[in-house]
Amino acid sequence: MRIATWNVNSITARLPRLLAWLESSGTDVLCIQETKCTAEQFPADELRELGYESAVNATGRWNGVALLSRVGLADVVTGLPGGPEYDGAQEPRAVSATCGPVRVWSVYVPNGREVAHEHYAYKLRWLEALRAAVAQDATGDRPFAVLGDYNIAPTDQDVWDIAVFEGATHVTEPERAALAALREAGLRDVVPRPLKYDHPFTYWDYRQLGFPKNKGMRIDLVYGNKPFAEAVTDSYVDREERKGKGASDHAPVVVDLDV
């Protein structure tokens, strides 16, 4: 079974690449972030033609997540149970479903913007709600994983130059403590194997030749419980999808399972 996560940075802009990638990659389940569309605008018909069912949590221009599956899509939960609001609304940042033998979440963790910004405090509250929501599945016997854009680099080695990020979000101690809380709840960081470079970055800024210079970050993560992690046979970042015209600034993270 092949599961992947990909921040597409607008499914409308990325649709031709997405459809081609699904056809060529052999992916059974795909977690998508930053759809940047409403649920009505989501290209469910085009995806259905390729054999994928869709579960979507999207409300408009920003954010938005989805799950695509060609191995079944059951017990869908839209949103983060108990999640905090921002500006009076719960943003569309989580969707979960059972896909064949695996329970899967697609999440788009708030960015945080700046450490002194209210969005940073909201990010930490959101992560605590996520920990509470997944605690039962994290210790269960069924393979379970939370995949997506966490907007956190777990270690200093997960950014191209830690000195550049001094005082910035994505690398602060409270954010990393939130990831540690997920691990303490029973989830493991499924780290992709290195390909071209020693460290498997997943995001590169469009500006200043970020991708050609490999000035990247590993912020798209796969956190799985023990049954999920023990079933992993391979994991890698598909860097090819970050190349060329019309690419997202994130690359897909692919995980193969023997379940």
pLDDT in tens, 11-48: 999 999 999 999 999 999 999 999 999 999 999 999 99
Q: Quick one: CA dihedral 216, 217, 220, 221, positive or negative?
A: positive
Burial 234-258, CB ≥16 within 10 A → b, else e: ebbbbbebbeeeebbbbbbbbbbbe
117 is catalytic: no
Q: Is 108 a catalytic residue?
A: yes
Widest distance between CA atoms in the chain = 47
Q: Say whether 198 counts as a known binding-site residue.
A: no
Other residues' Cβ atoms within 10 Å of the Cβ of residue 144: 25
250 annotated among ligand-binding-site residues: yes
Q: pLDDT value at position 182?
A: 98
Encode pLDDT of 247-258 as tens digits. Answer: 999 999 999 999
Q: Is the pLDDT of residue 197 over 90?
A: no
Tell me if 149 is assigned to a ligand binding site. yes
| DSSP β-ladder status, 102-108 and 144-149 | parallel
Q: Supply the pLDDT for residue 56.
A: 98
What is the C-alpha to C-alpha distance for residues 161 and 177, in angstroms, rounded to an integer? Answer: 20
Q: Please state, rounded to an integer, the average pLDDT across all residues of the chain.
A: 97
Tell me, yes or no, if 189 is annotated catalytic. no
pLDDT digits (tens, 9 = 90+) for 175-194: 999 999 999 999 999 999 98
What is the distance between the terminal CA atoms of the chain, rounded to a whole angstrom? 7
Alpha-helix runs per DSSP H in the chain = 11-25, 44-49, 118-138, 173-184, 226-231
In 3D space, the residue among 146, 102, 155, 100 whose CA is nearest the CA of residue 127 turns out to be: 146
Q: For residue 148, is pLDDT > 90?
A: yes
What is the rounded radius of gyration, in angstroms, for the C-alpha atoms of the chain?
17
- Domains, the chain, ranges and CATH? 2-257 (3.60.10.10)
Looking at the predicted structure, is the pLDDT value of residue 62 above 90?
Answer: no
Q: Are 170 and 153 in contact (CB under 8 A)?
A: yes
Q: Where are the alpha helices (DSSP H) in 142-236?
A: 173-184, 226-231
Residue 63, annotated as binding a ligand: no
| Cα–Cα distance measured from residue 218 to residue 157, given in angstroms and rounded to the nearest whole number | 9
Query: Looking at 52, 108, 150, 203, which residue is catalytic?
Result: 108
- pLDDT tens readout for residues 69-114: 999 999 999 999 999 999 999 999 999 999 999 999 999 999 999 9
The count of C-alpha atoms lying within 13 angstroms of the C-alpha of 149, restricted to the half-sphere facing its C-beta, is 27
68 and 32 Cβ atoms separated by less than 8 Å? yes
Helix (DSSP H) and strand (DSSP E) numbers for the chain: 5, 14
- Under DSSP, the state recorded for 209 is G
- Catalytically annotated residue among 158, 170, 238, 250: 250
Cβ-proximal residues to 123 (8 Å cutoff; 6+ apart), any chain: 109, 110, 111, 112, 151, 169, 175
Q: Is 9 labelled as part of a ligand binding site?
A: no
Catalytic residue among 52, 120, 122, 149: 149
pLDDT band of residue 233 (cuts 50, 70, 90) is very high
